[in-house]
Amino acid sequence: MPALPDLLLPELGLMGVRLDGGRLAADPARGLMTNIPGVYAIGDANADNVTNVPHAMFSGKRAAVFLHVALARQETAALLASNGTALNGRDLDFEPRAVWKAMNGGAGDILDAGEFEQ
């Protein structure tokens, strides 16, 4: 897929999603999130110019791990706030690498996506 279909580009522009060469610009350090919180660019849609099935699976899994951590942070903060417990931001610091390791399959497993830094 050389770029996103022309039909999608105007819609993405209205959302404010930043594009890079006709693809969604994503931040690998934030789980492939675009400049719009909650919008992730995975597989062929992101601007890393890799277009194969294993990479699409890897990028989807990476986005899922980051999304899982973000939702867990929100859920924990809401639960603790409802109990009147005060926290600082550091108390909710989930390490994405630890979540990645726990969710990643072992070598040869279909869920094995390799090391976190790939």
- Per-residue pLDDT of 26-77, as tens digits, reads 888 888 888 988 888 888 877 787 888 888 888 888 899 888 888 888 888 8
Q: What is the average per-residue pLDDT within 83-92?
A: 62
What range defines the domain where residue 94 resides? 8-103
Residue 60 counted as domain residue: yes
59 in a structural domain? yes
In a domain, 73, yes or no: yes
CA dist 8 → 4, 16, 39, 79 (Å): 7, 12, 14, 38
114 lies in some domain: no
In-domain check, residue 116: no
Q: Is pLDDT above 60 for 103? A: yes
Domain count across the chain: 1
Q: Tell me, yes or no, whether 108 lies in a domain.
A: no
Judge residue 80's burial from the number of C-beta atoms within 10 Å of its C-beta, 0-12 exposed, 13-18 middle, 19 or more buried. middle
Residues 6+ apart with CB under 8 A from 58: 113, 114, 118
Contact 56, 71 (CB under 8 A): no
Output the pTM of the full model.
0.59
